Amino acid sequence: MALDPRPYRPFQAYQDTVLDMKRYWTRELYPALEQTYEAKAANVDGPPPKSATDVDALLADEPLAQYFGWLERHLQRMKYSGRLGLAPAFDHDRANIEAALEGPFADGVLELTDGFEQPDYYTAVDIHQHPGGVWSDELAGAVYERGARTTTPLMGRDADLHYRFTDQIFARAGAAKRLLDMGCGFGKSTRPFYTERRDMEVTGVDLAEPCLRLAALTATEDQARNVHYRQADAADTGLDDGSVDIVTSTMMLHEMPPKHIRAVLQEAGRVLSPGGLSIHLDFLSEDDPFKRYIHYGHARRNNEPFMPPLNEMDLDEAHRAAGLEPPEIIPFEEMPGTLDAGNTDWRFPWVIIVSRKAA
């Protein structure tokens, strides 16, 4: 469900312009930068770049690299915080949107906790340059929903990747009937589960009340009876031991430090039934210096400080310690054709991290 501010043409025109510039950055600037890098790397005196740091050093004085990085940071900033950015636009319509977020909600769909305490890592940074993060302002969920429509600028149908991931899960789900979506946000990752499988009992947990309210409104509008949203840390869900068959998350792991990821996997190991499926969609950059330079640069420029530590952590060990099998890491095609060798556009390094609890 979208809770948009009242239509205002300058806002729409500005947001469309920002999106067009992001497309230019994705389709034209990125391949040009890659070509520039390849030409420079082929001409270095001494050994070729081996790490993201080496690539950084090689491209530090390259105007195209500077322009690429500047535009990446500032387009996101313009999208959220500029005069016609998302946060100010929603603020103009605050009273209406806040009223909508009060419900009514379907019985039992939403469980919030008064005085809920957020983990420190979560409040320390405005994640992906969202002013105040996705938790501190009542409108943050609605703003995030609007922002997420253009996160991957080439995506035609914005919900597409979540349905593609859902297909991957259901292909492995067997007779599973109970699913936990960790870090469910405003329900975009959760909705395909409860709408595609009405016989499945779905729980979504997240830290952010503003997102959970929007998720619950959407489920109410969907007249769904098989979903329950609860404000909880994914590392401490409050669910019973062995009470779910699938634990999943979409774009959550890279938003937390390794210590917390280990705690989340422990929690997954605890709540999964024997033989249960652990399956997370996230970003892991392959061992290629240029790709890693781009990914780590994105992390810095977009306020995603935990992306590099996730990339470097020992996921085998973290899964084993949680009673889960060492995971299989599978590249994920978020849109048709994005994994084709001829694709030169910028993209996130999407992967699925799949494991099981011993039967």
Binding flags for ligand SAM, 128-167, as an x/- string (CB under 6 A): ------x---------------------------------
Between residue 167 and residue 196, which ones bind ligand SAM under the rule CB under 6 A?
Answer: 182-185, 188-189
Q: Which stretch binds ligand SAM (CB under 6 A): 99-107, 250-258, 267-275, 349-357?
A: 250-258
**Token pair of 214, please?**
């929007």
Nearer to ligand SAM, 230 or 356 (CB): 230
Residue closest to 355 by CA, chosen among 326, 331, 330: 326
- In the complex, least distance from residue 255 CB atom to ligand SAM, rounded to whole angstroms: 5
Binding flags for ligand SAM, 200-239, as an x/- string (CB under 6 A): -----xxxx--x---------------------xxx----
- In the complex, least distance from residue 207 CB atom to ligand SAM, rounded to whole angstroms: 5
User: Which one among 78, 180, 219, 256 touches ligand SAM, defined by CB under 6 A?
Assistant: 256
- In the complex, least distance from residue 200 CB atom to ligand SAM, rounded to whole angstroms: 17
* Neighbouring C-beta atoms of residue 308, cutoff 10 Å: 17
Give φ, ψ of 278 to 5 degrees: -110, 120
Binding flags for ligand SAM, 91-130, as an x/- string (CB under 6 A): ----------------------------x--x--------
* Neighbouring C-beta atoms of residue 295, cutoff 10 Å: 22
CA distance 272 to 251: 20
> How wide is the angle at C-alpha 265 spanned by C-alphas 264 and 269, nearest 5°?
120
Question: Should residue 351 be labelled a site residue for ligand SAM when binding is judged by CB under 6 A?
Answer: no
Nearer to ligand SAM, 234 or 268 (CB): 234
SS (H, E, C) 14-78: HHHHHHHHHHHHHHHHHHHHHHHHHHHHHCCCCCCCCCHHHHHHHHCCCHHHHHHHHHHHHHHHH
Report how far apart the first and last C-alpha atoms of the chain are (Å, whole number): 38
CB-closest chain residue to ligand SAM: 185
User: What is the size of the binding site for ligand SAM (CB under 6 A)?
Assistant: 23
Nearer to ligand SAM, 250 or 338 (CB): 250
Alpha helices in the chain, H assignment, sequence order: 9-24, 30-42, 52-59, 63-81, 86-92, 94-100, 120-123, 140-148, 160-173, 191-196, 209-221, 258-271, 289-301, 307-312, 315-321
Nearer to ligand SAM, 85 or 185 (CB): 185
Q: Which residues bind ligand SAM (CB under 6 A)?
A: 119, 122, 134, 182-185, 188-189, 205-208, 211, 233-235, 250-252, 255-256, 260
